Amino acid sequence: MNATVQALHIKEVQQNGYTVIKNVNNAEVTRKLLTTVLEIRKKRWSIAKEKGYPARLNGCVFGLQNESLFLVQTMFSHPITTPIVTKLLNDSWYKAIAADRPNFISRNGIRAQSSAKDGLFMHIDSFIPGTGKRPWLLQVFMVLEDQDESNGTILVVPKSHLSDEYATPDSLKDAIPLCPKAGDIIIWDGRLWHGTTPNLEDKSRLVLASGFSCWFIKPKFDLPSALPDSIYQQLTDDEKVIMGFASPTFSDEFDPRYTEDTHNARAGYDVFPQHAPSFY
Ligand SMILES: [Fe+2]
């Protein structure tokens, strides 16, 4: 993607709260992503059944970053989306890492999800609304199966990310269906009012999804703790940063990672552990 097109998508996120990038992942990549997700989900569901865990709604499966390096590379080192997310979420005062490399983090790892039979009510993902020009949470959805109005497509209210209000059920009347196709990628500001149409026949319409946030937002999952060392050893520096290894929560001021340089918690690649915590 050239710089002009990239700037256009960034502007769309800033002005409208979202952008749809058409035909990003080719058919072969999309098929491989879908197959990988389905294989992991099958394995997970069989374990859940065996142990009596409740099945997740909407065909949702979390923690894919712990299962597949391919999914990590696709979502955290994507040639189109990662530079866009870096430009929108990077903290410009994060001096331990070069300005053009990611210093944001994954909020919830990588998951796959479909859509609910009754549809998803209108809501925001950013927890609090706001009016500022800087987002603190972005969603990246890689579409694996075509969406239309009958199978629970994503609904958005353009420009609502700057409304400074939570979404109400009434906002549904202003929502537009996105109906993306397999291979498209949607990026939206977490403040955007969004939901889904009902998935009338409960058809699969999987997306590979990740939330990314500024490094100082508390993540949903403790990704470094859960990551297998076999995957950690194959990550790039950028991917380790996105996993949260450069902005750890220090135990106290005697934590060996806590130095003159890292007292503001914006650490560099030098705090990466030799092994992921799971190794020990
Ligand atoms: Fe949401």
| Residue 63: predicted pLDDT | 94
Residue-wise pLDDT tens digits, 164-175: 999 999 999 999
| Residue 254: predicted pLDDT | 86
Residue 130 CA, ligand 1 centroid: distance in Å: 16
| Residue 263: predicted pLDDT | 63
Reading the chain (280 residues) residue by residue, the pLDDT tens digits are 899 999 999 999 999 999 999 999 999 999 999 999 999 999 988 888 888 776 666 678 999 999 999 999 999 999 999 999 999 999 999 999 999 999 999 999 999 999 989 999 999 999 999 999 999 999 999 999 999 999 999 999 999 999 999 999 999 999 999 999 999 999 999 999 999 999 999 999 999 999 999 999 999 999 999 999 999 999 999 999 999 999 988 888 888 888 777 666 788 999 999 999 999 9
Residue 124 CA, ligand 1 centroid: distance in Å: 6
Contact 181, 144 (CB under 8 A): no
Residue 206 CA, ligand 1 centroid: distance in Å: 15
Task: Give 239-242's long-range contacts (Cβ < 8 A, gap of 24+).
Answer: 239/72, 239/73, 239/76, 239/77, 240/269, 240/272, 241/97, 241/101, 241/102, 241/103, 241/105, 241/269, 242/76, 242/102, 242/104, 242/105, 242/106, 242/212
Residue 122 CA, ligand 1 centroid: distance in Å: 8
| Residue 265: predicted pLDDT | 78
Residue 3 CA, ligand 1 centroid: distance in Å: 29
Residue 248 CA, ligand 1 centroid: distance in Å: 26
Measured distance CA(14)–CA(49) in Å, rounded: 43
CATH class of 3-279: mainly beta
Domain locations along the chain: 3-279
Residue 236 CA, ligand 1 centroid: distance in Å: 29
Residue 192 CA, ligand 1 centroid: distance in Å: 9
Residues with C-beta atoms within 5 A of ion ligand 1:
125
| Residue 55: predicted pLDDT | 67
Residue 270 CA, ligand 1 centroid: distance in Å: 35
Q: What is the DSSP letter of 27?
A: H
Measured distance CA(7)–CA(30) in Å, rounded: 25
| Residue 85: predicted pLDDT | 98
| Residue 47: predicted pLDDT | 84
Residue 4 CA, ligand 1 centroid: distance in Å: 29
Residue 278 CA, ligand 1 centroid: distance in Å: 30
Q: How many other C-beta atoms are found inside a 10 Å radius of the C-beta of residue 264?
A: 12
